[in-house]
Amino acid sequence: MLFETLAEARDRLEKLYVLLADPQVIADTTRFQALAREHSHVEKVVSLWQELEDVQSSYREAKEIVEKSNDSELIELAKAEIGENEEKIEQLRHSLNSLLIPTDPDDSRNTIMEIRAGTGGEEACLFSADLFRMYSRYAERQGWKVELMSSNPSDLGGFKEIIFLIAGVDVYGKLRYESGVHRVQRVPETEAQGRLHTSAASVVVLPEAEEVDVELDPDELRVDVFRSSGPGGQSVNTTDSAVRITHLPTGLVVSCQDEKSQHKNKAKALKILRSRLLERLRKEQAAEEAAERRDMVAGGDRSAKIRTYNFPQNRLTDHRIKLTLYNLQEILDGDLEDVVEAIRMAAHSRGEVVPERGMAS
């Protein structure tokens, strides 16, 4: 959401206060939740912008002291304050730019993530588990909740496939650019001679679809039930609790077996199916817009390699924006914010996000 001035942002915040107190708005759950999310966002914008203006005011006062004062001790203190304020201004500008990036209506949605092992056999499965752990830890840092939807474990503790829901504020807006092929370079636990291997896993990020977004006709669904099984075919339970749903018009198939309840597995499978159908529908309706977004961040297509995790060099490289960081272990432990924000900013770098007249220096 782009504001020209702090006054404009404050004006919108006041209007949101009034709307959220309106009984008619409160009675409309969907509208109330949307306005509440906007209120939270605009409130952050106003707070950051006000802090930025305060720091800029202190910066100008310190500069004036340096230029006009004859007190050497006072000048030294002012110079130190100028240095501190310059750093704060840079940080606040970055944070405010991030908040003022024009948002997609889907950005506030929860997200369904699908991670699948690619080339590399068992090592790719172990890497899929590492990615799941990375996103789970990142979600924890953001105050989001992670719910496992479906998984297909491998023999050594990795995942051939894992699907999970992340719920919270602006989840899809932050994670939408994680879709693609993620490559790892390391010596696998399964390698006896210590040779470096390259493996891959694919990540798919879907905005969670609500029932109102995608209406499923029961006559177009084939629902099969079967017994859940673990690695190696070992029986997990003795009832037909696992569910496989086939959407006949598109041929999309979703299976869920992690819950002991057939009802819960079916509910999760339907949620995944709705999200996949919503993505398919959105792509058909906005092919040109999707192509433009892929151009903004090159390599956004899922078939493209978007990122490399190199363990010997403790290096992460995002190939779309040519970003290289040497704190791989911290990133895998959930410290993903710098990567996420760099990609989001790059996606909108074709235009100035925050007008200079709204942020006087």
Residuewise pLDDT in 10s, the chain (361 residues): 567 788 888 998 999 999 999 999 999 887 887 788 788 888 888 999 999 999 999 999 999 999 988 888 899 999 999 989 998 998 888 788 777 776 676 777 899 999 999 988 899 999 999 999 999 999 999 999 999 999 999 988 999 999 999 999 889 989 999 999 999 999 887 666 778 889 999 999 998 887 667 888 888 999 998 877 655 444 455 567 889 999 999 999 999 988 888 889 998 999 899 899 988 887 776 665 445 444 444 433 334 689 999 999 999 999 989 999 999 999 999 999 999 988 888 876 643 333 332 333 3
Q: Are 310 and 299 in contact (CB under 8 A)?
A: no
Phi-psi region of 222 (alpha: psi -120 to 50; beta: other; left: phi over 0): beta
CATH topology of domain 107-208+289-347: Alpha-Beta Plaits (3.30.70)
CATH of domain 218-284: 3.30.160.20
CA 172, distance to chain mean position in Å, is 5
- What is the DSSP track for 133-160? HHHHHHHHHHT-EEEEEEEEE-TTS-EE
Task: Look at residue 339 and give its three-state secondary structure.
Answer: helix
Q: Are 228 and 254 in contact (CB under 8 A)?
A: no
Q: Are 48 and 99 in contact (CB under 8 A)?
A: yes
Q: Are 150 and 183 in contact (CB under 8 A)?
A: no
From the DSSP assignment, how many helices (H) and strands (E) are in the chain?
10, 11
Distance CA 205, CA 306 (A): 14
Cα-trace Rg, the chain: 25
**What is the pairing mode between strands 197-207 and 111-117?**
antiparallel
Sign of CA dihedral 70, 74, 76, 82: negative
Q: Are 185 and 197 in contact (CB under 8 A)?
A: yes
- Considering only CA atoms, which of 274, 145, 280, 277 is closest in space to residue 210? 274
| Pair of tokens at residue 280 | 């398919």
Q: Are 220 and 248 in contact (CB under 8 A)?
A: yes
Q: How many residues does the chain have?
A: 361
| Pair of tokens at residue 302 | 């899922």
Q: Are 74 and 62 in contact (CB under 8 A)?
A: no
Domain boundaries, the chain: 6-100, 107-208+289-347, 218-284
Q: Any idea of the CA torsion for 203, 147, 286, 304, to the nearest 10 degrees?
A: 0
